[in-house]
Copies of this chain bind each other. A is one copy, B any other.
Amino acid sequence: MLRIILCGFGVVGQNFAKLLLSRSEDLYALHGLKLRVVGVFDSKGSAASSAGLDLNRLLEVKKKYGDIRKYHNKEKNANGLEMIKGMDAEVLIETTPSNYKDAEPGMSHIVNAMKNGLHVITVNKGPLALAFPSLIELATYNQVLLKFSGTVGGGTPIIDYAKNSLRGERIVSFQGILNGTTNYILTNMANGMTFKTALADAKKRGYVEADESLDIDGFDAAAKLVILANWIMDMKVTIKDIKRIGIRDVTTSDIKKATANNSAVKLIASCNKELLVAPQQISLDDPLCVNGTLNAITFNSEHSGQQTIIGRGAGGMETASSILRDLLDIRQEMSRR
């Protein structure tokens, strides 16, 4: 039995609850995994039950009132850090929004959870972007697991592929389209839109972060590059070590030059000699050259050649599914100890 505290009950948190509801029986039958969400909190308040929250009711309450505090008849309202420090649980799932200034409140949730002996699954990239090496050290010191499958590639297990499926192989370098929003904008620019129109269209579709700079100026891609560089290439770096150029200055003329060159301009995050996020020309024949909101990454391996993985980079259910994968890992690791 894994008892879970869930930080954040937005799109990812709600999809995770739905996924648990639909999968609980087969998770137990197929993987022996029993899960119980004992606490949930967001910026407004919290709901908790050591016997396990009724996820159906929690989803209804959230839908009806937009506020999970209404789950309890009385006004219980432990704050997040109190819950992390006070409740009996095995796993903290951190789904609050990423920021790259101080990574709060996610950073405090993660640090306090690990200090209290909880395993952590984060889909929030902020804390990893700012402090990957020290968070891994903290996890090791406290003998807990820190998992983050959902931070890169959403439901597409890019991190796992590079680390596990390619075990025994040496990855020499990699380059990828790691941000779907900028790829969507650049694809529309290739089809004739100006940057301004394409950005407006992406906003209308809900593809752009509340702070557009996170997408447009390459922070999101840079954060993912930090995570991959640390985890796959054993580098000890943070977002400060990434050279970062966004797509704000990509002109219609750049796009036309690329087209004439049988190529397209893509925002590429690359780990070769340096760590770089920047717009680059990619040949239309390159498997990496995917369109729309797709993500893609190419690993250059020593003996197995170039390998490219393509998938949807984001989406609530996709990310929820990555959390489930991390939970399966945690359960397996725990059973070996």
The bracket for how many chain A residues form the interface is 35 or more
Question: Any chain B CB within 8 A of the CB of A134?
Answer: no
Contact (Cβ within 8 A) A301 B155: yes
Question: Any chain B CB within 8 A of the CB of A152?
Answer: no
How many copies make up the complex?
2
Contact (Cβ within 8 A) B287 A304: no
Contact (Cβ within 8 A) A306 B317: no
Question: Any chain B CB within 8 A of the CB of A318?
Answer: yes
CB distance from A54 to the nearest CB of B (A): 22
Contact (Cβ within 8 A) B165 A321: no
If A169-B321, A287-B290, A291-B285 touch, whether A311 touches B303 (CB-CB below 8 Å) is no
Residues 264-284 of chain A: 1 if any B CB is under 8 Å from the residue's CB, otherwise 0?
000000000000000000000
- Bound CA–CA A27/B315 (angstroms): 39
- Bound CA–CA A164/B166 (angstroms): 11
Inter-chain contacts of A291 with B (CB < 8 A): 285
When C-beta atoms are compared, the residue in chain B nearest to A291 turns out to be B285
Of the candidates A304, A312, A322, the one having the most CB atoms from chain B within 10 angstroms of its own CB is A304
From B31, B154, B303, B308, give the contact of A155 (CB < 8 A).
B303
- Bound CA–CA A169/B23 (angstroms): 10
Question: Any chain B CB within 8 A of the CB of A206?
Answer: no
Inter-chain contacts of A156 with B (CB < 8 A): 304-305, 307
Question: Any chain B CB within 8 A of the CB of A167?
Answer: yes
If A285-B291, A294-B287 touch, whether A168 touches B325 (CB-CB below 8 Å) is yes
- Bound CA–CA A309/B304 (angstroms): 13
Question: Any chain B CB within 8 A of the CB of A200?
Answer: no
- Bound CA–CA A273/B121 (angstroms): 36
Q: Give residues of chain A (71-111) contacting chain B, Cβ–Cβ below 8 Å.
A: none
When C-beta atoms are compared, the residue in chain B nearest to A169 turns out to be B321
Residues 151-163 of chain A: 1 if any B CB is under 8 Å from the residue's CB, otherwise 0?
0001111001100
When C-beta atoms are compared, the residue in chain B nearest to A155 turns out to be B304
CB distance from A151 to the nearest CB of B (A): 15
Question: Any chain B CB within 8 A of the CB of A53?
Answer: no
Question: Any chain B CB within 8 A of the CB of A310?
Answer: yes
Apart from A155-B303, A308-B311: 8 A-B pairs, beta carbons within 8 A = A154-B304, A156-B305, A156-B307, A166-B325, A304-B311, A304-B318, A305-B318, A308-B310
Using CB atoms and an 8 Å cutoff, list the residues of chain A in contact with chain B. 19, 27, 31, 154-157, 160-161, 164-169, 285, 287, 290-291, 294, 296, 301, 303-312, 315, 317-318, 320-322, 324-325, 327-328
